[in-house]
Amino acid sequence: MIELDRRHRLLQGQAREWWAEVRPHALEVDRDPTTPTRLLHHAGLGCLGTLQIPPEYNPDPLEISGHRFHLMTALERIVYYEEAAWGDLATALAAPGAPMTGVLVDALGDREQKEWFYGRVLAEPTWTFFALTESERGSDAAGMTTTLTRDDQDGPWRLNGAKRYVGNAVRGQLGVVFARTRSGPLGVNTVLLEADALGFTAEPVATLGLRGAQLGAITLESVEIAPERVLGRHLSPTRRGMAGWLRTFNLLRPVVASMSVGLARAAHEYVRDHRARLTRAEHDRLDAMARRIEAVRRLTRRAAAAVDADVSAGELACMAKLRGARLVENVTLRALDFFGPGARFEHPFLEKLARDARGVEYMEGTENIQRLSVFNGLGEGRAHG
Ligand SMILES: Cc1cc2nc3c(=O)[nH]c(=O)nc-3n(C[C@H](O)[C@H](O)[C@H](O)COP(=O)(O)OP(=O)(O)OC[C@H]3O[C@@H](n4cnc5c(N)ncnc54)[C@H](O)[C@@H]3O)c2cc1C
């Protein structure tokens, strides 16, 4: 089992304290998804705006009792995000900063692109988007149809297409968009884009859960992209595009698993705190829930350690994400059972947790996709961790 060292326990303690301050706003965020932008004075949310940026570009990371945290490793991220999700997952997803985009820029960007992107993010609270999903191509990202074309060799590129379910699409000032220059996996490219570009529009998409995250739909109509905004332009086609997003997902899948753990823990604690007397059978059920949460937490830590040791070692990350998505749906529904038939009306916070839990399944790849990745990894003799 991977135990947290003193440094990670300090991060955990600080995050727990900070996100306990955000939690009282959770239902307000659920009612009005614009609320998170008014909560930046809460350190837990505000600090995310300047973290998850590589040390060479961020001289001023989070400092706790003499220890510095950039939230760049998977282990630091899972420690932090378990607490953030316990506080409110929707608010955590609505934070400024570059949790996904930053990983991609780190993997694919050249020095100038990194300086430009991280410089923008650090200058002021900046929301970023990571536009990959298309409405007809969800999990089959390799089949995306958004195009990146140009008429002459040295001229600007043109971006055409539509993206959907993109986090922070509406509030985002800049981000990355995935598009193809030709058919096949080697034709996938990513570009840096500012939301005020001509031809870019974004609007919110209504969702049942994680409303505060305010997923959005992006339309791209002949958006001009300067050649220096194409990520990985200094890399070979095999090392940019899909390679970049696979690396991003390997790092972020344990983070989604840790979000499941935090959200499930919130539901478990809610039952413990709001049911004064439990029958023996109920007590046993609650204990079993706690053990399942702990099991996924341990798997998530192993997955994070494996990815930190080798970013291509994503099998455990897929397993953790898969287990986490199942855990959180199961625990939040069972938690409602403790309060009888009127539970969803009488316990709005728990009802919200059950709605939010469903969103986890769709983040960083659905259950079937994780299974396929694990299967392929095992088939190729890769069994990390
Ligand atoms: C909270 C949240 C945040 C998100 N943030 C972003 C973001 O920032 N950027 C972004 O681009 N997207 C984002 N998404 C979108 C997310 O990545 C997609 O929802 C996801 O790719 C699934 O796509 P889909 O909803 O179209 O479902 P589908 O891909 O249609 O999947 C539906 C079902 O079909 C199954 N399925 C699909 N393909 C296969 C296959 N080949 N084999 C077997 N089964 C299959 C799936 O497992 C699933 O059960 C976000 C979603 C959520 C909920």
Asked whether residue 385 carries a pLDDT value surpassing 70, the answer given is: no
Cβ(316)–Cβ(83) under 8 Å? no
From ligand 1's centre to the CA of 90, what distance in Å?
18
**pLDDT confidence tier of residue 276, bands split at 50, 70 and 90:** confident
Site to probe by mutation for ligand 1, drawn from 164, 322, 366, 375 as the one with most ligand atoms within 8 Å of Cβ, is 366
pLDDT digits (tens, 9 = 90+) for 21-55: 999 999 999 999 999 999 999 999 999 999 999 99
pLDDT over 90, % of the chain: 81
Shortest CA distance to 182 belongs to which of 130, 245, 105, 241?
Answer: 241
Lowest model confidence (mean pLDDT) among 164-173, 229-238, 269-278, 287-296: 229-238
pLDDT digits (tens, 9 = 90+) for 181-224: 988 878 889 999 999 999 999 999 999 999 999 999 999 999 99
Q: Once rounded to an integer, what is the mean pLDDT over residues 107-119?
A: 95
Token pair, residue 368, equals 């079937």
pLDDT digits (tens, 9 = 90+) for 131-142: 999 998 888 888
Q: Count the Cβ atoms, other than its own, within 10 Å of residue 310.
A: 11
- Nearest ligand 1 atom to the CA of 169 is 8
pLDDT digits (tens, 9 = 90+) for 162-183: 999 999 999 999 999 999 998 8
The CB of 130 under 6 Å from ligand 1? The reply is: yes
Shortest CA distance to 305 belongs to which of 371, 227, 385?
Answer: 385
pLDDT value for 384: 52
Collapse the DSSP code of 152 into the 3-class scheme (helix H, G, I; strand E, B; otherwise coil) and give the result: coil
- Residue 100 burial by Cβ neighbours in a 10 Å radius (0-12, 13-18, 19+): buried
Cβ(212)–Cβ(29) under 8 Å? yes
The CB of 169 under 6 Å from ligand 1? The reply is: no
pLDDT value for 209: 97
Token pair, residue 349, equals 């916070």
Cα–Cα distances in Å, from 78 out to 11, 174, 254, 260?
11, 25, 7, 10
pLDDT value for 125: 95
- Nearest ligand 1 atom to the CA of 136 is 26
Lowest model confidence (mean pLDDT) among 126-140, 240-254, 272-286: 240-254
pLDDT value for 241: 66
From ligand 1's centre to the CA of 330, what distance in Å?
20
Collapse the DSSP code of 149 into the 3-class scheme (helix H, G, I; strand E, B; otherwise coil) and give the result: strand
The CB of 368 under 6 Å from ligand 1? The reply is: yes
Asked whether residue 295 carries a pLDDT value surpassing 90, the answer given is: yes
pLDDT digits (tens, 9 = 90+) for 298-339: 999 999 999 999 988 889 999 999 999 999 999 999 999 999
Asked whether residue 99 carries a pLDDT value surpassing 90, the answer given is: yes
pLDDT digits (tens, 9 = 90+) for 236-245: 777 776 667 7
The CB of 132 under 6 Å from ligand 1? The reply is: yes
Shortest CA distance to 192 belongs to which of 233, 242, 144?
Answer: 233
pLDDT value for 1: 76
Asked whether residue 3 carries a pLDDT value surpassing 80, the answer given is: yes
Instruction: Please indicate, yes or no, whether the overall pTM of this predicted structure exceeds 0.85.
Output: yes
d(CA 286, CA 291): 9
Shortest CA distance to 148 belongs to which of 179, 184, 192, 187?
Answer: 179
From ligand 1's centre to the CA of 315, what distance in Å?
19
Q: Count the Cβ atoms, other than its own, within 10 Å of residue 277.
A: 6
The CB of 205 under 6 Å from ligand 1? The reply is: no
| Residue nearest atom 30 of ligand 1, based on CA coordinates | 138
From ligand 1's centre to the CA of 360, what distance in Å?
10
When comparing pLDDT for 243 and 252, which is higher? Answer: 252
263 phi/psi in degrees, rounded to 5: -70, -40
**pLDDT confidence tier of residue 151, bands split at 50, 70 and 90:** confident
Asked whether residue 159 carries a pLDDT value surpassing 70, the answer given is: yes
Shortest CA distance to 159 belongs to which of 130, 181, 129?
Answer: 181
From ligand 1's centre to the CA of 359, what distance in Å?
10
When comparing pLDDT for 136 and 280, which is higher? Answer: 280
Q: For residue 127, what is the DSSP state?
A: B
pLDDT value for 121: 96
Q: For residue 129, what is the DSSP state?
A: E
Q: For residue 362, what is the DSSP state?
A: T
d(CA 230, CA 109): 9
pLDDT digits (tens, 9 = 90+) for 58-72: 999 999 999 999 999
DSSP 196-248: TSTTEEEEE---SS-GGG--EEEEEEEEEE-GGGBTTTTS-TTTSTHHHHHHH
